[in-house]
Amino acid sequence: MERRRPPQTEEGWYVLHDFRSIDWDTWREAPERRRSRAIDEGIDYLASCEAVDDADAGESATFSVLGHKADLLVLHLRPTLSDIDTLERRFEHTALAAFTERTDSYLSVTEVSGYMSEDYFDEDSEVEDTGLERYIESRLKPDIPDSEFLSFYPMSKRRGPDHNWYELPFDERADYLSNHGEIGKDYAGRVTQIISGSVGLDDFEWGITLFGDDPTDVKELLYEMRFDPSSSRFAEFGRFLSGRRFPPEHLGAFLAGETVPQEGDGSGHPHAAGESGGHHGDSGGHHHGGDGSDSSGRDDAGRAHGGDDEDLRSELEDMGVYAGQPHGEDVHAVVLYSAADSDELFEAVDGLRANFDHYDTHVKTAVYEPRDEGSETAVVSLWDTERAASTAAGFLADLPDIVRQAGDDADDSWGTMGMFYTVKPDHRGDFTSAFDDAAGLLAEMDGHRKTDLLVNREDENDMFIASRWDAREDAMQFFRSDAFSEAVEFGRDVLADRPRHVFLA
């Protein structure tokens, strides 16, 4: 008898959804001093959890549950079961616990599986890093999004006489999940998720937690997925519970029946527009997420953290070179390079951009085509927040034929200098001619590897230069040169705005 091959899995943090109901009769009848103590100790407990004072890593969040199934949800993610166990028992020692009753809970552990990438689990295989490792890390150790709305439900794969998921060959299961994941791409920037496995830990096989600022986005995603065979034939669902996130300091307002978060006081929970969305089920799928930094200590824009970056910016500033980020000091850039056909790439980017545009944190996403046929096309995405840029990087990493992300190969060379130029239309030819002259000079410089001029396919006057050097000092020699000073002076005549020099890798 043939035994079907299960996917390999890797586990990360443990997850507890702790649902509580308030004994409202007891609460109303309790003396004020007892209620005040319960509020104070409840706030201290919840705030301590969200600050992760109890462990080296993790996440926690507090939600007001909608409907009759519960009143309060405390969501915990921690590295060990011991951490989760301790948090449960600590709550029971607060004065607030006496007014609550646990109505439900769900225990699971974050996971990734071989449906996503079999090479990741193959010790003999070299996985080309195009954001996959960062995405996997974000799945195993996820941030709880700052979205207002949450929907949680458990699910299992069907094992019936007509449709049995576990009787399907591996490749067929992987295809189902891949097609299922394509639906989630349409909800990028609107819905994000945490998928956690619960085989042997709780009643179902997975726990799915979806987050979004608009509940109807979650509803539409789930409704559309109902028609996909991965759900219609093979999925069985438990009950759904929904909630609204609020800061721990608003616990008193929550118990008093007031609006939470309270508007206008500046302390409501921030909504991190630009969080990612995706599909769910059996931990298969595509990349959409990241932790915002890689092992080289650089963020998703490729900028080095700490003093080195500041020293570099200061040195350039002393030379009269603006070394800020594009479009302002607080914008975060993600740049990826693709070997795909430009038209195919643009179509995919345009679909993502339509969803990115739902959020105020999205500044710009564009495709830049190289003038050199031997170079890759670049996708540049700019965001107001590092978290939003990090999440967008995960979605962008799933674009066709991505070969690298700026910053991923920083150990091999000192970073790509990205210079964004808005050229006056009448001087576009002057600018490209000047670039060709500069490229000739660069080719003769020690430590210079390659420089490309890329043009926004939607705006020929918007250009992006990417250069790569053996080391930082090699690049700085160029910026200290007379040739670069002349280029800066030339730019004042032909550019519509001052250039933004961005350290991308």
How many angstroms separate the CA atoms of 42 and 47, rounded?
A: 8
> What CA–CA distance (Å, rounded) separates 184 from 265?
35
Are residues 148 and 213 in contact, defined by beta-carbon separation less than 8 angstroms? Answer: yes
Best CA proximity match to 159, nearest among 226, 109, 204, 106: 204
Separation CA 273–CA 361 (nearest Å): 6
> What's the token pair of residue 394?
């995960």
Which among 385, 63, 52 is positioned nearest to 210, based on CA atoms?
A: 63
C-alpha distances out from residue 69 to 33, 105, 361, Å:
29, 11, 34
Tokens of 498: 């001052």
Could you give the 3-state DSSP secondary structure of residue 73? Answer: strand
- CB-CB neighbours of 248 under 10 Å: 21
Active site positions, annotated: 153
Q: What is the 3-state secondary structure (H, E, C) of 413-460?
A: CEEEEEEEEEECHHHHHHHHHHHHHHHHHHHCCCCEEEEEEEEECCEE
Q: For residue 182, which phi and psi values (nearest 5 degrees)?
A: -60, -30
Give the number of other CB atoms < 10 A from CB of residue 104: 17
User: Distance between CA atoms of 157 and 204, rounded to whole angstroms?
Assistant: 9
What is the spatial distance between Cα 491 and Cα 405, in angstroms, rounded to a whole number?
A: 28
Task: Compute, in degrees rounded to 10, the torsion defined by CA atoms 379, 457, 428, 415.
Answer: 10
Distance, in Å, from the CA atom of 460 to the CA atom of 293, rounded to the nearest integer, reads 32
Asked if 330 contacts 337 with a C-beta cutoff of 8 angstroms, the reply is: no
Q: CA 134 → CA 140, 222, 305, 387, distances in Å? A: 10, 26, 17, 13
The closest alpha carbon to 204, from 105, 279, 284, belongs to 105
**Which backbone phi and psi does 313 adopt, to 5 degrees?**
-60, -40
